[in-house]
A = this chain, B = another copy of it.
């Protein structure tokens, strides 16, 4: 059945970020729609943000195109240019290699929801705009490192 039963997909909370950043992801839950439906070439996640929550640490991707569409509530795009209000139906695109780091914040009093898709690639490097961190992805494993490549515990 191509129609996805959204209610049957578990909402995941928590974060794979290093411990000192996990607190910033409170109030975020995600449903992995694409995985549940058998898609392999791009990921599709439905992301729900409680009031005050963030979608991610502000970041950009070297290799992977990213696209999102707001489906519920009022959200805010935060990128290098500042803040941009997003309402239901608004879309954002983040081409691979564009160094304009971005994330989505919920500054409203109600939940906000968006659906985001990103290309799957064998390897990837993501860069975090506001902190000294990058992520290297290979073989499905993520390694969070300082931007100079040193391990996070070094300094």
User: CA of A115 to CA of B93 in the docked complex: distance in angstroms?
Assistant: 13
Produce 1/0 per residue, A88-101, CB < 8 A to B: 01111111101010
Contacts of A155 in B (CB 8 A): none
Contacts of A151 in B (CB 8 A): none
User: CA of A37 to CA of B38 in the docked complex: distance in angstroms?
Assistant: 27
Is B65 a contact partner of A2 (Cβ separation < 8 A)? Answer: no
Is A40 positioned at the interface, with any CB of B under 8 Å from its CB? yes
Is A93 a contact partner of B42 (Cβ separation < 8 A)? Answer: no
Give the distance to chain B from A126, nearest Cβ to Cβ, in Å.
15
From A119, which residue of chain B is reached at the shortest CB distance?
B41
Is B95 a contact partner of A37 (Cβ separation < 8 A)? Answer: yes
Interface segment, one of A22-30, A79-87, A132-140, A141-149: A79-87
Is B39 a contact partner of A3 (Cβ separation < 8 A)? Answer: no
Contacts of A2 in B (CB 8 A): 77, 79, 84, 92-94, 100, 102
